[in-house]
Amino acid sequence: MKFVGYEKLSTLKLYTKYSNFAKKMKKWLDTLDVNLIECMYDNKRLEQKPSLEKDSIPKLEKLQNWFGSVPRFTTIRTNPATGSSDTIIEIIKTQLQEQAASRGRKTLPEVKQDPLLKDCVVVSCWDEQSMNSDRQSQEVIVDVKCGVAILRGADLFAPGVIAMSSETTIGSKVSVYADLAQKCLWGRTTPYSDLENKMFVGNGIALMTRKDIFAGSTKDRKTGRAIEMTDIPSRVSSISLPPKYGILQNYPSILCSHVLNPQPGDIVLDMCASPGNKTTHLASLMKHEGTLIALDRSKNKVEKLDLNCRLQGCDWVRTYAYNSIEAVDKQKISNIDGPPPYPKNSFDKILLDAPCSALGQRPHINTSMTAKHINSYPIMQKRLFDTAVSLLKPGGVLVYSTCTILVQENEGLVEWALNTYPGVIELVRADPLVGSSGTEWPGSQLTSDQRKCLQRFGPDLSQDSIEPHQSDTIGFFIAKFRKIPT
Protein backbone atom coordinates (compact mmCIF):
# COMPACT_ATOMS: atom_id res chain seq x y z
CA MET A 1 0.00 0.00 0.00
CA LYS A 2 1.31 3.44 -0.85
CA PHE A 3 1.75 5.70 2.08
CA VAL A 4 -0.52 8.73 2.02
CA GLY A 5 1.71 11.03 4.04
CA TYR A 6 1.60 11.93 7.65
CA GLU A 7 -0.63 14.95 7.24
CA LYS A 8 -3.40 13.09 5.44
CA LEU A 9 -3.10 9.97 7.50
CA SER A 10 -3.00 11.54 10.88
CA THR A 11 -4.91 14.75 10.55
CA LEU A 12 -8.24 13.03 10.90
CA LYS A 13 -7.02 11.07 13.83
CA LEU A 14 -5.44 14.11 15.38
CA TYR A 15 -8.54 16.16 14.79
CA THR A 16 -10.65 13.72 16.72
CA LYS A 17 -8.05 13.68 19.45
CA TYR A 18 -7.76 17.39 19.32
CA SER A 19 -11.41 17.99 19.86
CA ASN A 20 -10.55 17.20 23.47
CA PHE A 21 -7.29 19.05 23.30
CA ALA A 22 -9.03 22.06 21.81
CA LYS A 23 -11.62 22.11 24.57
CA LYS A 24 -8.87 21.97 27.10
CA MET A 25 -6.97 24.69 25.33
CA LYS A 26 -9.98 26.96 25.26
CA LYS A 27 -10.30 26.43 28.98
CA TRP A 28 -6.71 27.50 29.49
CA LEU A 29 -7.20 30.50 27.26
CA ASP A 30 -10.18 31.58 29.27
CA THR A 31 -8.12 31.58 32.41
CA LEU A 32 -4.99 33.20 31.03
CA ASP A 33 -4.49 36.95 31.36
CA VAL A 34 -3.56 37.13 27.73
CA ASN A 35 -5.50 35.42 24.98
CA LEU A 36 -2.94 33.28 23.24
CA ILE A 37 -4.75 32.64 20.00
CA GLU A 38 -5.76 36.19 19.34
CA CYS A 39 -2.37 37.49 20.39
CA MET A 40 -0.72 35.17 17.98
CA TYR A 41 -2.94 35.65 15.01
CA ASP A 42 -4.60 39.01 14.92
CA ASN A 43 -3.67 41.86 17.16
CA LYS A 44 -6.19 44.35 15.77
CA ARG A 45 -9.12 42.05 16.43
CA LEU A 46 -7.85 41.50 19.89
CA GLU A 47 -8.31 45.18 20.65
CA GLN A 48 -11.96 44.80 19.71
CA LYS A 49 -12.17 41.63 21.80
CA PRO A 50 -14.26 39.39 19.58
CA SER A 51 -15.37 36.18 21.18
CA LEU A 52 -13.14 33.19 20.72
CA GLU A 53 -16.14 31.08 19.75
CA LYS A 54 -17.13 33.15 16.72
CA ASP A 55 -13.91 34.28 15.16
CA SER A 56 -11.11 32.19 16.43
CA ILE A 57 -12.01 28.70 15.30
CA PRO A 58 -9.90 28.80 12.09
CA LYS A 59 -7.02 30.12 14.15
CA LEU A 60 -7.52 27.41 16.70
CA GLU A 61 -7.48 24.88 13.87
CA LYS A 62 -4.26 26.34 12.49
CA LEU A 63 -2.74 26.06 15.92
CA GLN A 64 -3.96 22.48 16.31
CA ASN A 65 -2.45 21.55 12.96
CA TRP A 66 0.85 23.07 13.99
CA PHE A 67 0.77 21.26 17.34
CA GLY A 68 -0.30 18.02 15.69
CA SER A 69 2.38 17.91 13.00
CA VAL A 70 6.04 17.03 13.32
CA PRO A 71 8.90 19.40 12.35
CA ARG A 72 10.06 17.88 9.06
CA PHE A 73 13.78 18.43 9.56
CA THR A 74 16.30 16.72 11.77
CA THR A 75 18.99 19.06 13.07
CA ILE A 76 22.28 17.89 14.49
CA ARG A 77 24.60 20.03 16.59
CA THR A 78 28.09 18.93 15.70
CA ASN A 79 31.11 18.89 17.96
CA PRO A 80 33.95 20.75 16.23
CA ALA A 81 36.48 19.22 18.65
CA THR A 82 35.97 15.72 17.23
CA GLY A 83 35.14 16.24 13.59
CA SER A 84 34.27 18.90 11.02
CA SER A 85 30.70 19.28 9.79
CA ASP A 86 31.90 17.79 6.49
CA THR A 87 32.99 14.59 8.24
CA ILE A 88 29.65 14.34 10.03
CA ILE A 89 27.72 15.03 6.83
CA GLU A 90 29.57 12.09 5.23
CA ILE A 91 28.74 9.80 8.19
CA ILE A 92 25.06 10.76 7.98
CA LYS A 93 24.93 10.28 4.20
CA THR A 94 26.39 6.79 4.57
CA GLN A 95 23.77 5.94 7.20
CA LEU A 96 20.96 7.17 4.97
CA GLN A 97 22.31 5.23 1.98
CA GLU A 98 22.36 2.04 4.07
CA GLN A 99 18.79 2.67 5.24
CA ALA A 100 17.68 3.35 1.66
CA ALA A 101 19.32 0.14 0.41
CA SER A 102 17.77 -2.04 3.11
CA ARG A 103 14.32 -0.43 2.80
CA GLY A 104 14.18 -0.24 -1.01
CA ARG A 105 14.10 3.56 -1.25
CA LYS A 106 15.36 5.46 -4.23
CA THR A 107 15.49 9.11 -3.19
CA LEU A 108 17.70 10.17 -0.29
CA PRO A 109 16.99 13.02 2.12
CA GLU A 110 19.17 16.10 1.66
CA VAL A 111 21.98 16.63 4.16
CA LYS A 112 23.57 20.06 4.44
CA GLN A 113 25.27 22.52 6.71
CA ASP A 114 23.08 25.31 8.10
CA PRO A 115 24.08 28.54 6.34
CA LEU A 116 24.12 30.51 9.60
CA LEU A 117 25.29 28.18 12.36
CA LYS A 118 28.55 26.47 11.52
CA ASP A 119 27.98 23.69 14.05
CA CYS A 120 24.55 22.71 12.75
CA VAL A 121 23.81 20.05 10.12
CA VAL A 122 20.31 19.77 8.67
CA VAL A 123 18.69 16.60 7.28
CA SER A 124 15.40 16.77 5.37
CA CYS A 125 12.76 14.02 5.56
CA TRP A 126 12.18 11.05 3.23
CA ASP A 127 9.85 11.53 0.28
CA GLU A 128 6.21 10.49 0.37
CA GLN A 129 6.70 7.34 -1.71
CA SER A 130 9.20 5.91 0.74
CA MET A 131 7.07 4.74 3.61
CA ASN A 132 5.20 1.49 4.04
CA SER A 133 2.17 2.01 6.25
CA ASP A 134 0.72 -1.52 5.93
CA ARG A 135 -0.42 -2.54 9.38
CA GLN A 136 1.40 -5.63 10.64
CA SER A 137 -0.44 -8.32 12.59
CA GLN A 138 2.07 -8.11 15.44
CA GLU A 139 1.79 -4.94 17.45
CA VAL A 140 3.76 -3.01 20.01
CA ILE A 141 2.20 -0.41 22.32
CA VAL A 142 4.19 2.53 23.69
CA ASP A 143 3.37 5.51 25.88
CA VAL A 144 2.69 8.98 24.50
CA LYS A 145 6.18 10.32 25.20
CA CYS A 146 7.74 7.42 23.38
CA GLY A 147 5.26 7.78 20.49
CA VAL A 148 6.30 11.41 20.09
CA ALA A 149 9.99 10.46 20.08
CA ILE A 150 9.31 7.85 17.36
CA LEU A 151 7.45 10.38 15.22
CA ARG A 152 10.50 12.63 15.57
CA GLY A 153 12.82 9.93 14.23
CA ALA A 154 13.89 7.91 17.29
CA ASP A 155 14.08 4.13 17.45
CA LEU A 156 12.12 2.39 20.19
CA PHE A 157 14.07 1.47 23.32
CA ALA A 158 13.05 -1.34 25.68
CA PRO A 159 11.93 0.83 28.65
CA GLY A 160 9.35 2.55 26.39
CA VAL A 161 7.53 -0.68 25.44
CA ILE A 162 4.23 -1.19 27.28
CA ALA A 163 2.95 -4.22 25.40
CA MET A 164 4.04 -6.58 22.62
CA SER A 165 2.32 -9.43 20.75
CA SER A 166 3.26 -12.80 22.21
CA GLU A 167 4.42 -14.29 18.90
CA THR A 168 6.99 -11.53 18.22
CA THR A 169 10.50 -12.85 17.67
CA ILE A 170 13.71 -11.14 16.67
CA GLY A 171 13.32 -9.95 13.10
CA SER A 172 9.47 -9.84 13.20
CA LYS A 173 7.82 -6.94 11.41
CA VAL A 174 5.68 -5.00 13.87
CA SER A 175 3.36 -1.99 13.90
CA VAL A 176 3.86 0.44 16.77
CA TYR A 177 1.01 2.41 18.38
CA ALA A 178 0.96 5.11 21.06
CA ASP A 179 -1.61 4.57 23.80
CA LEU A 180 -3.19 8.03 24.05
CA ALA A 181 -5.53 7.03 26.84
CA GLN A 182 -2.67 5.56 28.88
CA LYS A 183 -4.81 2.62 29.87
CA CYS A 184 -3.04 -0.32 28.21
CA LEU A 185 -1.74 -2.74 30.84
CA TRP A 186 1.99 -3.29 31.01
CA GLY A 187 3.03 -6.61 29.44
CA ARG A 188 -0.26 -7.19 27.59
CA THR A 189 0.04 -9.96 24.95
CA THR A 190 -3.19 -9.67 22.95
CA PRO A 191 -3.99 -6.82 20.54
CA TYR A 192 -4.96 -3.64 22.37
CA SER A 193 -8.55 -3.03 21.43
CA ASP A 194 -9.00 0.66 22.28
CA LEU A 195 -9.01 1.70 18.60
CA GLU A 196 -10.11 5.22 19.48
CA ASN A 197 -7.01 5.85 21.59
CA LYS A 198 -4.49 3.83 19.67
CA MET A 199 -2.43 6.04 17.39
CA PHE A 200 -0.24 4.45 14.70
CA VAL A 201 3.30 5.81 14.94
CA GLY A 202 5.09 3.52 12.50
CA ASN A 203 6.37 0.11 11.44
CA GLY A 204 9.61 -1.50 12.50
CA ILE A 205 11.63 -4.65 13.04
CA ALA A 206 11.89 -6.31 16.44
CA LEU A 207 15.41 -6.49 17.85
CA MET A 208 14.22 -8.07 21.13
CA THR A 209 11.62 -10.64 22.11
CA ARG A 210 8.85 -10.22 24.68
CA LYS A 211 10.92 -12.21 27.13
CA ASP A 212 13.88 -9.87 26.69
CA ILE A 213 11.69 -6.91 27.51
CA PHE A 214 9.30 -8.12 30.17
CA ALA A 215 11.01 -10.99 32.01
CA GLY A 216 13.20 -10.49 35.04
CA SER A 217 13.22 -7.92 37.78
CA THR A 218 13.19 -4.21 37.04
CA LYS A 219 16.90 -3.87 37.63
CA ASP A 220 17.80 -6.65 35.14
CA ARG A 221 15.55 -5.28 32.47
CA LYS A 222 17.14 -4.45 29.15
CA THR A 223 17.64 -0.85 28.15
CA GLY A 224 18.80 -1.12 24.52
CA ARG A 225 16.95 -0.75 21.22
CA ALA A 226 13.85 -2.97 21.13
CA ILE A 227 12.52 -1.98 17.69
CA GLU A 228 14.34 -0.52 14.74
CA MET A 229 11.78 1.86 13.24
CA THR A 230 11.79 1.52 9.47
CA ASP A 231 8.68 3.42 8.32
CA ILE A 232 7.27 6.32 10.27
CA PRO A 233 4.35 8.42 9.06
CA SER A 234 6.14 11.71 9.76
CA ARG A 235 8.90 10.57 7.33
CA VAL A 236 11.50 12.29 9.52
CA SER A 237 15.05 10.98 9.04
CA SER A 238 16.38 8.83 11.80
CA ILE A 239 20.05 9.47 12.51
CA SER A 240 22.18 7.94 15.22
CA LEU A 241 25.62 9.32 15.94
CA PRO A 242 28.11 8.65 18.74
CA PRO A 243 27.53 11.64 21.10
CA LYS A 244 31.14 12.75 20.77
CA TYR A 245 30.48 13.64 17.10
CA GLY A 246 27.19 15.40 17.55
CA ILE A 247 23.72 15.24 19.07
CA LEU A 248 20.19 15.72 17.80
CA GLN A 249 19.03 19.14 18.96
CA ASN A 250 16.17 21.39 17.87
CA TYR A 251 17.23 24.31 15.69
CA PRO A 252 16.16 27.13 18.07
CA SER A 253 17.93 25.37 20.96
CA ILE A 254 21.18 25.36 18.98
CA LEU A 255 20.64 29.01 18.15
CA CYS A 256 20.02 29.86 21.82
CA SER A 257 23.60 29.06 22.94
CA HIS A 258 24.95 31.11 20.02
CA VAL A 259 22.87 34.04 21.28
CA LEU A 260 24.62 33.81 24.66
CA ASN A 261 27.91 33.51 22.73
CA PRO A 262 30.24 32.44 25.57
CA GLN A 263 33.96 32.86 24.89
CA PRO A 264 37.01 30.88 26.04
CA GLY A 265 37.94 32.04 29.55
CA ASP A 266 34.44 33.34 30.47
CA ILE A 267 32.79 32.53 33.79
CA VAL A 268 29.42 31.09 32.77
CA LEU A 269 26.39 29.79 34.68
CA ASP A 270 23.71 27.50 33.21
CA MET A 271 20.90 27.76 35.79
CA CYS A 272 18.53 25.02 34.56
CA ALA A 273 20.87 22.68 32.81
CA SER A 274 19.67 19.06 32.65
CA PRO A 275 19.85 17.03 30.42
CA GLY A 276 22.71 19.31 29.34
CA ASN A 277 22.12 19.80 25.62
CA LYS A 278 22.84 23.50 25.96
CA THR A 279 25.49 23.06 28.67
CA THR A 280 27.62 20.90 26.39
CA HIS A 281 27.10 23.38 23.57
CA LEU A 282 28.23 26.27 25.79
CA ALA A 283 31.31 24.21 26.73
CA SER A 284 32.06 23.65 23.06
CA LEU A 285 31.63 27.35 22.20
CA MET A 286 34.02 28.17 25.08
CA LYS A 287 36.52 25.80 23.40
CA HIS A 288 36.65 24.02 26.76
CA GLU A 289 38.43 26.93 28.47
CA GLY A 290 37.05 28.94 31.38
CA THR A 291 34.53 28.16 34.10
CA LEU A 292 31.14 26.65 33.35
CA ILE A 293 28.85 25.85 36.27
CA ALA A 294 25.66 23.91 35.51
CA LEU A 295 22.85 23.57 38.07
CA ASP A 296 19.67 21.56 38.10
CA ARG A 297 17.18 20.97 40.83
CA SER A 298 17.39 17.25 41.45
CA LYS A 299 20.15 14.70 41.93
CA ASN A 300 18.67 12.40 39.25
CA LYS A 301 18.66 15.15 36.69
CA VAL A 302 22.24 16.05 37.52
CA GLU A 303 23.28 12.42 37.01
CA LYS A 304 21.84 12.64 33.50
CA LEU A 305 23.64 15.95 32.98
CA ASP A 306 26.94 14.44 34.18
CA LEU A 307 26.54 11.49 31.84
CA ASN A 308 25.93 13.74 28.83
CA CYS A 309 28.88 15.96 29.76
CA ARG A 310 31.09 12.85 29.97
CA LEU A 311 29.84 11.40 26.67
CA GLN A 312 30.43 14.70 24.90
CA GLY A 313 33.92 15.26 26.30
CA CYS A 314 32.94 18.06 28.71
CA ASP A 315 33.70 16.51 32.09
CA TRP A 316 35.47 19.73 33.12
CA VAL A 317 32.01 21.34 33.57
CA ARG A 318 31.12 21.76 37.28
CA THR A 319 27.64 20.41 37.96
CA TYR A 320 25.56 20.65 41.16
CA ALA A 321 22.08 19.53 42.22
CA TYR A 322 20.74 22.84 43.51
CA ASN A 323 17.64 25.01 43.47
CA SER A 324 18.81 27.91 41.32
CA ILE A 325 16.30 30.25 42.93
CA GLU A 326 18.53 30.06 46.01
CA ALA A 327 21.86 30.18 44.15
CA VAL A 328 22.81 33.68 45.33
CA ASP A 329 24.26 34.45 48.73
CA LYS A 330 24.01 38.18 49.17
CA GLN A 331 26.36 38.17 52.19
CA LYS A 332 29.09 36.16 50.53
CA ILE A 333 32.02 38.00 49.00
CA SER A 334 34.39 35.13 48.34
CA ASN A 335 34.96 33.57 44.93
CA ILE A 336 32.94 30.96 43.07
CA ASP A 337 35.11 27.95 43.88
CA GLY A 338 32.97 25.14 45.22
CA PRO A 339 29.22 24.61 45.26
CA PRO A 340 26.46 27.26 45.25
CA PRO A 341 25.29 29.68 46.58
CA TYR A 342 27.55 32.26 44.91
CA PRO A 343 28.18 35.95 45.61
CA LYS A 344 26.35 38.65 43.65
CA ASN A 345 27.97 39.89 40.42
CA SER A 346 29.91 36.66 39.83
CA PHE A 347 29.21 35.59 36.22
CA ASP A 348 30.09 37.03 32.81
CA LYS A 349 27.30 35.13 31.13
CA ILE A 350 24.19 33.34 32.37
CA LEU A 351 21.78 31.06 30.54
CA LEU A 352 18.30 30.81 32.07
CA ASP A 353 16.63 28.12 29.92
CA ALA A 354 13.63 28.23 32.16
CA PRO A 355 11.23 25.45 33.19
CA CYS A 356 8.11 26.24 31.19
CA SER A 357 4.74 24.91 30.02
CA ALA A 358 6.55 23.34 27.00
CA LEU A 359 3.66 24.41 24.75
CA GLY A 360 6.05 24.61 21.84
CA GLN A 361 6.95 20.93 21.70
CA ARG A 362 5.65 19.24 18.54
CA PRO A 363 3.87 16.99 17.97
CA HIS A 364 1.78 17.63 21.06
CA ILE A 365 -0.47 14.61 20.88
CA ASN A 366 -1.86 14.60 24.36
CA THR A 367 -1.63 16.73 27.44
CA SER A 368 -2.52 16.41 31.06
CA MET A 369 -1.72 20.00 31.97
CA THR A 370 -4.31 22.19 33.63
CA ALA A 371 -4.67 25.95 33.48
CA LYS A 372 -3.55 26.17 37.11
CA HIS A 373 -0.40 24.27 36.25
CA ILE A 374 0.32 26.53 33.28
CA ASN A 375 -0.23 29.68 35.27
CA SER A 376 2.30 28.58 37.88
CA TYR A 377 5.26 28.88 35.49
CA PRO A 378 5.61 32.67 35.30
CA ILE A 379 5.88 32.81 39.09
CA MET A 380 8.82 30.40 39.08
CA GLN A 381 10.39 32.04 36.03
CA LYS A 382 10.38 35.45 37.73
CA ARG A 383 12.06 34.06 40.85
CA LEU A 384 14.77 32.42 38.75
CA PHE A 385 15.19 35.67 36.82
CA ASP A 386 15.67 37.65 40.08
CA THR A 387 18.54 35.33 40.99
CA ALA A 388 20.05 35.58 37.52
CA VAL A 389 20.12 39.40 37.66
CA SER A 390 21.76 39.29 41.05
CA LEU A 391 24.45 36.79 39.99
CA LEU A 392 25.33 38.59 36.76
CA LYS A 393 28.40 40.87 36.67
CA PRO A 394 27.76 44.48 35.59
CA GLY A 395 28.28 44.43 31.82
CA GLY A 396 27.43 40.70 31.80
CA VAL A 397 24.91 39.02 29.50
CA LEU A 398 21.83 37.00 30.42
CA VAL A 399 19.87 34.91 27.92
CA TYR A 400 16.34 33.88 28.90
CA SER A 401 14.68 31.15 26.83
CA THR A 402 11.64 28.85 26.87
CA CYS A 403 10.17 26.17 24.62
CA THR A 404 6.63 27.51 24.85
CA ILE A 405 4.61 29.87 22.67
CA LEU A 406 2.65 31.35 25.57
CA VAL A 407 3.03 35.12 25.75
CA GLN A 408 2.84 35.20 29.54
CA GLU A 409 6.05 33.16 29.83
CA ASN A 410 7.83 35.05 27.06
CA GLU A 411 7.13 38.67 26.13
CA GLY A 412 5.17 39.02 29.39
CA LEU A 413 8.24 37.98 31.36
CA VAL A 414 10.43 40.43 29.40
CA GLU A 415 8.05 43.32 30.13
CA TRP A 416 7.97 42.41 33.82
CA ALA A 417 11.81 42.22 33.88
CA LEU A 418 12.27 45.66 32.30
CA ASN A 419 9.73 47.19 34.71
CA THR A 420 11.27 45.46 37.73
CA TYR A 421 14.91 46.31 36.93
CA PRO A 422 14.95 49.78 35.30
CA GLY A 423 18.53 51.09 35.11
CA VAL A 424 19.83 47.65 36.11
CA ILE A 425 19.29 45.59 32.97
CA GLU A 426 18.61 46.46 29.34
CA LEU A 427 17.28 44.43 26.47
CA VAL A 428 19.74 43.82 23.62
CA ARG A 429 19.23 42.16 20.23
CA ALA A 430 19.15 38.38 20.50
CA ASP A 431 21.58 38.01 17.59
CA PRO A 432 21.79 36.02 15.35
CA LEU A 433 18.12 36.79 14.69
CA VAL A 434 16.20 34.06 12.87
CA GLY A 435 12.79 33.89 14.58
CA SER A 436 10.06 36.51 14.32
CA SER A 437 9.86 39.59 16.57
CA GLY A 438 8.08 39.44 19.89
CA THR A 439 4.29 39.48 19.93
CA GLU A 440 2.24 42.54 20.89
CA TRP A 441 -0.85 42.35 23.08
CA PRO A 442 -3.32 44.91 24.39
CA GLY A 443 -1.77 46.96 27.13
CA SER A 444 1.69 45.70 26.25
CA GLN A 445 4.35 48.26 27.09
CA LEU A 446 7.08 46.75 24.93
CA THR A 447 8.02 49.12 22.13
CA SER A 448 8.34 47.94 18.56
CA ASP A 449 12.16 48.27 18.85
CA GLN A 450 12.14 46.16 21.97
CA ARG A 451 10.01 43.49 20.31
CA LYS A 452 12.49 43.41 17.42
CA CYS A 453 15.26 42.48 19.90
CA LEU A 454 13.39 39.26 20.77
CA GLN A 455 12.94 36.12 18.75
CA ARG A 456 10.05 33.72 18.74
CA PHE A 457 9.54 30.45 16.86
CA GLY A 458 5.96 29.26 16.44
CA PRO A 459 3.11 28.66 14.01
CA ASP A 460 3.20 32.22 12.71
CA LEU A 461 6.86 32.36 11.75
CA SER A 462 6.93 33.56 8.15
CA GLN A 463 9.03 31.49 5.79
CA ASP A 464 9.76 34.37 3.44
CA SER A 465 13.29 35.27 4.42
CA ILE A 466 14.46 32.12 6.15
CA GLU A 467 15.00 28.50 5.19
CA PRO A 468 12.26 25.89 5.82
CA HIS A 469 14.27 24.14 8.53
CA GLN A 470 14.59 27.45 10.37
CA SER A 471 10.83 28.00 10.46
CA ASP A 472 9.41 24.46 10.74
CA THR A 473 10.69 23.95 14.28
CA ILE A 474 9.39 23.55 17.78
CA GLY A 475 8.00 26.70 19.42
CA PHE A 476 10.74 28.62 21.21
CA PHE A 477 11.50 32.06 22.62
CA ILE A 478 14.82 33.86 23.19
CA ALA A 479 15.51 37.20 24.93
CA LYS A 480 18.93 38.68 25.68
CA PHE A 481 19.68 41.20 28.43
CA ARG A 482 22.78 43.10 29.54
CA LYS A 483 23.40 44.25 33.10
CA ILE A 484 24.11 47.95 32.89
CA PRO A 485 27.62 48.73 34.25
CA THR A 486 27.38 50.96 37.31
Ligand X SMILES: C[S@@+](CC[C@H](N)C(=O)[O-])C[C@H]1O[C@@H](n2cnc3c(N)ncnc32)[C@H](O)[C@@H]1O
Catalytically active residues are 403
Question: Which contiguous run of DSSP H or E holds residue 228?
Answer: strand 225-231
Q: Give the total of residues touching ligand X (CB under 6 A).
A: 17
* Tally of CA atoms within 13 A in the half-sphere of 332 that contains its CB: 18
Give the annotated binding-site residues: 296, 329, 353
Q: How far is the CB of 133 from ligand X (least distance, A)?
A: 33
Question: Which stretch in 53-61, 160-168, 275-283, 404-412 sits in contact with ligand X by CB under 6 A?
Answer: 275-283
Q: Does 10 bind ligand X (CB under 6 A)?
A: no
Q: Select the residue interacting with ligand X from 59, 105, 152, 278 (CB under 6 A).
A: 278
Q: Does 324 bind ligand X (CB under 6 A)?
A: yes
Give the annotated binding-site residues for S-adenosyl-L-methionine: 296, 329, 353
Q: Which is nearer to ligand X, 172 or 250 (CB)?
A: 250
Q: Does 32 bind ligand X (CB under 6 A)?
A: no
Q: Does 323 bind ligand X (CB under 6 A)?
A: yes
Q: Does 312 bind ligand X (CB under 6 A)?
A: no
Of 302, 399, 422, 402, nearest to 348 by C-alpha is 399
Of 356-415, binders to ligand X (CB under 6 A) are none
Would residue 247 be called left, alpha or beta, if left means φ above 0 and alpha means ψ between -120 and 50 degrees?
beta
Q: Select the residue interacting with ligand X from 109, 252, 276, 378 (CB under 6 A).
A: 276
Q: Which is nearer to ligand X, 11 or 361 (CB)?
A: 361
Of 118, 77, 75, 94, nearest to 246 by C-alpha is 77
Dihedral sign, CA of 219, 220, 221, 223?
positive
x/- mask, ligand X, residues 216-255, rule CB under 6 A, reads: -------------------------------------x--
C-beta separation of 165 from 138 below 8 A:
yes
Helix (H) and strand (E) counts in the chain? 15, 18
Q: Does 5 bind ligand X (CB under 6 A)?
A: no
Q: How far is the CB of 383 from ligand X (least distance, A)?
A: 8
Q: Which is nearer to ligand X, 205 or 325 (CB)?
A: 325
Q: How far is the CB of 292 from ligand X (least distance, A)?
A: 13
d(C-alpha 288, C-alpha 79), whole Å: 12
- Residues with Cβ within 8 Å of 57's Cβ and at least 6 positions away in sequence, in order, are none
User: Nearest 5 degrees, angle CA 470-CA 71-CA 130?
Assistant: 120
Q: Does 353 bind ligand X (CB under 6 A)?
A: yes
The DSSP output letter for 325 is: G
Q: Which is nearer to ligand X, 122 or 352 (CB)?
A: 352
Of 383, 448, 365, 454, nearest to 420 by C-alpha is 383
Site residues for ligand X per CB under 6 A: 253, 272-278, 295-297, 301, 323-325, 353, 355
